[in-house]
Amino acid sequence: MRALVCEKIGTFETDDMTEALRLRDWPMPEPGAGQVRIAVQAAGVNFPDTLMVEGRYHVKAEPPFIPGSEVAGVINAVGPDVQGWQVGDRVCAMTVQGAFAEQVVVDAANLVALPDTVDFATGSALLMTYGTAIHALHQRARLMPGERMLVLGAGGGVSLAAVALGAAMGAQVVAAASSAEKRELARQQGAQTLIDNTPDAIRGAGPYDVIFDPVGGDLSEIAFRAIAPEGRHLVIGFASGTIPAIPLNLPLLKSAAIMGVFWGAFTKRALEMHRANMADVLAMLASGAMPPPPLQVFALSEGPAILRRLAAREIAGKVALEI
């Protein structure tokens, strides 16, 4: 089979990654016990994929390996001890790695059924971003209709998912993004208030009942200082590259909470709740209660260039590779 293979660890900012990432033949994987093989139709591209290729992700992989953590396709082989799934089922799944290939083997526990109403490219773009966002808003923040929610980094995939879900849940969504293009995408996803991601703009649009923060860095403390009493600051990640050090007297003075959101661990300990979350996402998309994700689709051969652009934060919205 053909796959996009990471031959060596490198850095997109300083290295020529054309030799590090190559489209080449790779052995066909076979499912073991509790696993299925998927004929991949599309693979979502996420910021953690760039970190894994650069050796900076918390899950390490030794080259050569196939990057890519999110797929949609059709089951074409089923291993022993698999129940509830069969050849021909349309599915999407998280893979950790291996998604940028024509075939991938995944644990059956990681599968989510993909209805006929959702195309494969869209299906490959839902699990990590919308799965993270709905878990953050449902189980962690318990977002209520009418609450005011600030979404930082509102041009990225997970933040735009939070904008769309928050608006569908009845929140007043404030989207902070660095460019007019990104703010327009947030508006299309349902944000009512659009602001630049500057300290003055963030302070001026508060107070916030919920803060959705995948950015980290200096903006985290600035945003938290604008939180409302009983507010919830959701720690999604640190795309800025800097983990903030918010003084612990601030949660005390604000009577507010800083809440971690580790979606990957949640899917392991609460699999059925995760599947129910994704069923809610798919139902909202099918009913029109939420717009589809802003999605750009490219060929697998363009993967190295797309990963470089994603690492440089040159892409707004979500990206998928057609296999």
The 3-state DSSP class for residue 22 equals strand
Residue whose C-alpha is closest to residue 319's, from 39, 53, 18, 44 = 44
CA distance 131 to 138: 11
Question: What CA dihedral angle connects 183, 122, 69 and 232, to 10 degrees?
Answer: 40
Confidence (pLDDT) at 290 = 93
CA distance 174 to 206: 9
Q: What is the reported pTM?
A: 0.88
Task: Kindly report, residue by residue over 246-299, the tens digit of the pLDDT.
Answer: 999 999 999 999 999 999 899 989 989 999 999 999 999 989 999 999 899 999
Residue whose C-alpha is closest to residue 318's, from 135, 132, 138 = 132
Q: Name the pLDDT band for 229 (thresholds 50, 70, 90).
A: very high
Task: Kindly report, residue by residue over 122-179, the tens digit of the pLDDT.
Answer: 999 999 999 999 999 999 999 999 999 999 999 888 999 999 999 999 999 999 999 9
The yes/no answer on whether domain 2-117+297-322 falls in CATH 3.90.180.10 is: yes
pLDDT at 239 over 90: no
* Domain parsing of the chain, residue ranges: 2-117+297-322, 129-264
Confidence (pLDDT) at 19 = 75
Tell me if 129 sits within 8 A of 212, measured CB to CB: no
CATH topology of domain 129-264: Rossmann fold (3.40.50)
Kindly state the tokens that stand for 323. Answer: 């296999």
Mean pLDDT of the 82-90 span: 96
Confidence (pLDDT) at 60 = 83
CA distance 13 to 6: 16
Evaluate whether 2-117+297-322 and 129-264 have a shared fold.
no
